[in-house]
Structure 1
Amino acid sequence: MNNNHLDDDSVDVEEQRSLVDSDDGLDDERTPLDKTIDRIGMGTYQWALLSLCGFGWMADNMWIQAIAIILPRVQQHYSVPDSYIGSVSSSMFAGMMLGAVGWGTCSDLLGRSTAFNATLFFTSIFGFVASLVDGFVPLCIALFFLGTAVGGSMPTDGTLLLEHMPKEKQYLVTALSIFFSFGSVLSAFVALIVLPGNSCPSNSSSAPASVLGLTDLVDCDVGTQNRGWKYLLMTLALITLSMFLARMVLFRLHESPRYLVHAGRPLEAVKSLKMISKFNGSDLEIELDDVADHHPATTTNTTSALPPSQSLLNGRPDSTVITGSMDDRKVDERVVFDAGDEAAGNAGSSSPTKNSTDRSTLVPSYNAVGETASNVLEGHSFKTPLLSNEDVLPREIPKRSNSDNEDEYKPNLGSGARKPLAAWWDRVSMVLEPEWFRTTVLVWAVWGSMSLAFTMFNVFLPKLLELGPSSGEVAKKTLEDNLWDVMIFTIGGTPGAILGAWLIESSLGRRLSLAASTFITAVFCVVFIMVESTWAVRLSTMGVSLSATAMWAVLYGWTPEIFGTKVRGTACGIASALSRIGGMIAPLLGGTLLMISRAVPVYTSVGVFTVAGICVLLLREGEGASFDRTGKGRRRATKVVVH
């Protein structure tokens, strides 16, 4: 990065500071570490990191789509009835839910870079294992472990990227959702190349009976002719391995400076920032004081008076609002999902504030890691405990033995182990209190039902395409034709993230945009089951893909705005967990319904989408933190992350 770019960035930072100072005398709310990262700016290092983080998001959706594509082939291979074939997808979704939590913990204990590299490595390993196992149950087990690996990519990669990005460029996290969409396209493309010549043809004499799970194969030897799905898994494992090698060989990742500061290693944070600055082509002078990630002791709660609308500078993400004195906190926690006191008393909220009293005696306080309240990374919070402020930036770090360190931290570890459950239960209790109960139930119902409905359609789409207009009849199309249909379906969803981001700020607003995209998705599902011509089927699937992707984009952008600061992290985290549970239930339920008729799973999805849309309409767009005290100045959802 050249000096001119640095000068421009410095000028822009000063403009932001002057704009904030001009409103009621408020000071710049960035910490010294925030300012240092802003000084470094958006250079070559950040752009390279954005691309490499995109690989993780691409791998996530690539594997999800691959499992849906191979489902009919696996059913043929092992003669699995419809009622059980959904276990393939459910196993992977179960692993993904566990992996998101596990790798989040790993990123806090071992560092962001460890999780960043390990997720793709283990994904490739378990991908190879899944391609080599023999037997339906071993395959499900292998896919479960694959899910535990790939499930950590989205939250951990998103965290790492946010912690390296200057504040005014954090909206570029939206680009990760584009990588996510192209993951399914890549999977469909590889399947189109690999499967047709290495699979039992759908129009063979034995294929119809096999697809329906009624009898064993006769004319197709699955051991030699139906190995295409194994080749697909192996190819995707190689692609994932190449992504891992690109991270290791083509790029030298420096540990997150924010993580290092929070882990009590500020000197390493200084070194990391200097290396990043040098990589960008500049040589900034960075001192120990420049990596402090807390405000001076004089910081007061007056910052909470800043309305959300004032934090929107030139259409960029809002600045983080820090409240309360940091000196009287022995332990602080930084989370990616902004579950904390970013605006004491919810000044920017028109929602009830009955329980906005200080709960610091019950749970630790939370603050955002320099991102807007609309940050959504799969709903998972990554918490890193901080030492007291006096210890975060020591004048010099004395050398100690391992035994000294153990003695010093044993009491903290003991007390820390007892707090999480009580803290979590306190947050859940707040979410379910009368003033939030209705909103919470509706939002959770929306997340669970949307995931259930879309997963049921998406997982069984390749199988539905191979069946005719009515159950029991095989479509007069080749496997290659069906795979082209899947390819077109995945391509149709690629503009969805951008469309969703536009809808959020359109005249329709959040609520009507989400409801409309949900109902439109349901309508296209009905069209899909009714039409018979090839292009009508393809257009209907494109409609489902586009509207559903936009639906998820709006949902992810709006959900954090619905809830107040005190309950936002818990409400969104549980909502994300419910979506994963819906994803696990859908394949099992869909397989059972498929035994009745081809149309039953689709109409069930339509019904669930309709319920979700009604729940959306019952919500109020002005709820939570989306409006300031006067009901004006709606906050921008600057980051949209696709499910």
Structure 2
Amino acid sequence: MIVGLFAWAFLPNYSSECTTIENCTYANNRGWRYIWYTSGALVFLMSVARVTVIRLKETPKYLLGEGKDAEVVETLQFIAHKYNRPCSLTLEKLDACGVTGAAMGQERRGSVSHAKKRFSFGEIWAHLRGLFVTRRIGLSTSLIWLSWLLIGLAYPLYNVFLPSYLATRGAETGDDSPSTTWRNYTLANFSSIWGPVLAGWMCQSRWFWGRRGTMIVGALITMVFFFAYTGVRTASQNVGFTCAISFCLDADVGKKNIYYGTLYAYTPEVLPSAHRGTGNGIAIGLNRIMGILSAVIATVADTTTSVPIFICAALYLVMAMVAAIFPFEPMGSRSS
């Protein structure tokens, strides 16, 4: 939203005369540079604050999986001190628990999760096996990957195809001036902020069946708005439905809302801690691959029919069904 505000302020006022290569000079094309400067300065300040002020620590469970016992104790003691809670754990007490699941010759807890060489195919294979160590965990991993694959196809395909579909139906979605474009972009991003707020409440509410129920509701609501958006005929309708869809689900980078945001948080929450980096990386990779394929599909699709839109909306119904059969519900319990 902040970048949208930057663009709304700078582009219409400092790039208005830049319409062709010949008349596009530094003097009349400074808008994008101003956005670059302000955005870069903001990111730099936030990066400094991230290192000096918001000094996050690694999770004890991950450190335990890595066999870093001293850091486990240090982190837990830090958390206990920060929130004024007792913590009697010491490195000696942790060592007294023994080494679990270690093969002969392995001295540290958690080394069973790794191959002899950390950067090798054996290491990757060890993590892949960990994602399917039991039938239930394997089902969970497969369904999570399927969900990321489906949403990676459905949302980009819808976005790519919809403008052509609306144009063939004679929809007047407003002028394409820089001011209107970036105003709408800012409004959509502002609307998208509140989707995670609602999702955060829904995830903790038994009325919505926790994480799985939140994803089901988010997917179904998004499906309804996708179908309804095909009826857009005016600029006001376009802005209104765009904001509604942004609130429910907007899969652009950095905007993760009711369904997408919940899936984004649910994925590392239920994957086995020692292997969640691999599982999450594969999930994101599948999402991006399908995003590329969606552009190819949209290029060869027939834009004179509404079939692709109905397919996209139907995919959200499938996502809701997949969410309903996720084997794990983390609400009220510890992560895996």
TM-score category (smaller protein): 0.5 to 0.7
2:254 match: none
**SS state of the match for residue 215, structure 2?**
helix
Q: CA deviation at 1:551?
A: 0.9
Paired residue type of 1:423:
A
Amino acid paired to 2:217:
A
The equivalent residue for 2:217 is: 516
- The structural deviation recorded for 1:540 is 0.3
Q: Which runs of 5+ in 1 are unaligned?
A: 1-184, 208-216, 300-323, 334-362, 366-384, 386-411, 627-633
1:188 matches 2:18: no
Q: 1:270 to 1:224 in 2, by over 3 A?
A: same
Structure 1 letter corresponding to 2:153: L
Find the aligned partners of 1:511 and 1:427 in 2 and give their Cα distance: 23
**Kept in 1: contact 2:219–2:319 (CA 8 A):** no
| Equivalence for 1:498 | 197
User: For each residue in 1:432-469, what CA deviation from the matched residue of structure 2 results, as whole angstroms up to 9, or x when unmatched?
Assistant: x7x777765544232112133334556899xx59x967
Tell me whether 1:611 sits opposite 2:310 in the alignment.
no
Give SS of 1:624's match: coil
Give the structure 2 partner of residue 507 of structure 1. Answer: 207
- Counterpart CA distance in 1 for 2:33 and 2:297 is 26
Out of 451, 463, 487, the residue aligned to residue 186 of structure 2 is 487
AA aligned to 1:199 is: S
Shift in Å, 1:364: 1.8
Q: Which amino acid aligns with 1:446?
A: S
Give the Cα–Cα distance (whole angstroms) in 2 for the partners of residues 281 and 615 of structure 1. 39
Q: Normalized against structure 2, the TM-score is what?
A: 0.68
SS at match of 2:53: coil
User: Compared with structure 1, are the counterparts of its residues 421 and 186 closer, same or farther at alpha carbon in structure 2 (3 Å cutoff)?
Assistant: same
Alignment of 1:287-302 (within 5 A): 290-291=90-91, 294=94, 296-297=96-97
Matches of 1:500 and 1:332 in 2, distance apart? 37
Give the whole-Å Cα distance in 2 for the aligned partners of 1:256 and 1:619. Answer: 29
Question: Do the aligned partners of residues 455 and 293 (structure 1) sit closer, same or farther apart at CA in structure 2, a change above 3 Å counting?
Answer: farther
User: Which residues of 2 match residues 11-30 of structure 1 at below 5 A?
Assistant: none
Counterpart-to-counterpart distance in 1, 2:267 and 2:118: 33
Secondary structure at the counterpart of residue 616 of structure 1: helix
Aligned residue among 25, 44, 57 for 1:241: 44
Task: Give 1:353's aligned residue.
Answer: none
Partners of 1:503 and 1:272 in 2: how far apart?
Answer: 29
Question: Contact 2:8–2:182 (CA<8 Å) still a contact in 1?
Answer: yes
Partner secondary structure for residue 90 of structure 2: helix
Deviation of 1:543 (Å)? 1.1
Paired amino acid for 1:194? F
Query: What is the aligned-residue identity percentage?
Result: 18
The residue aligned with 1:533 is 234
Alignment of 1:115-134 (within 5 A): none
The count of aligned residue pairs is 322
Q: What's 1:579 paired with? A: 287
Structure 1 pair 607–635 and aligned structure 2 pair: CA distance change class (3 A): same
Structure 1 vs Structure 2 CA RMSD: 5.2
Kindly provide the CA deviation profile for residues 116-164 of structure 1, in whole angstroms up to 9, marking residues without a partner as x: xxxxxxxxxxxxxxxxxxxxxxxxxxxxxxxxxxxxxxxxxxxxxxxxx
Equivalent AA in structure 2 for residue 420 of structure 1? E
- 1:492-520 deviations in Å (ceiling 9; x for gaps): 11111122233333434255542332232
- Look up the match of 2:53: 251
Cα distance change, pair 459–332 in 1 and its aligned pair in 2 (3 A):
farther
Query: Does the C-alpha gap of structure 1 residues 260 and 427 become closer, same or farther in structure 2, counting only changes over 3 Å?
Result: closer
For CA contacts below 8 A with separation 6 or more, give which structure has more relative contact order: 2
Q: Aligned in 2, Cα 1:294/1:424: closer, same or farther, shift over 3 Å?
A: same
Q: Highest CA radius of gyration, 1 or 2?
A: 1
Partner of 1:636: 332
TM-score of the superposed pair, with normalisation by structure 1 = 0.39
Structure 2 CA distance for aligned equivalents of residues 553 and 199 of structure 1:
35
Q: Does 2:112 align with 1:364?
A: yes
Q: Cα distance, 1:330 vs. partner?
A: 2.7
Deviation digits for residues 48-91 of structure 1 (CA, Å, limit 9, x no counterpart): xxxxxxxxxxxxxxxxxxxxxxxxxxxxxxxxxxxxxxxxxxxx
Q: Secondary structure, in 3 states, of the residue corresponding to 2:193?
A: coil
Deviations 1:256-291 (A, max 9, x none): 696999686949x869978x96xx799x9999x735
Taking the TM superposition and a 5 Å limit, the aligned residue runs for 1:344-355 are none
Aligned to 2:109: 332
Specify the alignment match of 2:327 in structure 1.
Answer: 624
Write out aligned runs for 1:211-610 (5 A).
217=20, 221=24, 224-247=27-50, 251=53, 253=55, 266=70, 290-291=90-91, 294=94, 296-297=96-97, 324=100, 330-333=107-110, 364-365=112-113, 414=117, 417=120, 419-427=122-130, 430=133, 441-456=142-157, 464=163, 475-476=174-175, 478-504=177-203, 505-509=205-209, 510-548=211-249, 549-559=257-267, 572-586=280-294, 590=298, 592=299, 604=308, 607-610=311-314
For the Cα contact (< 8 Å) 1:563–1:625, is it kept in 2?
no
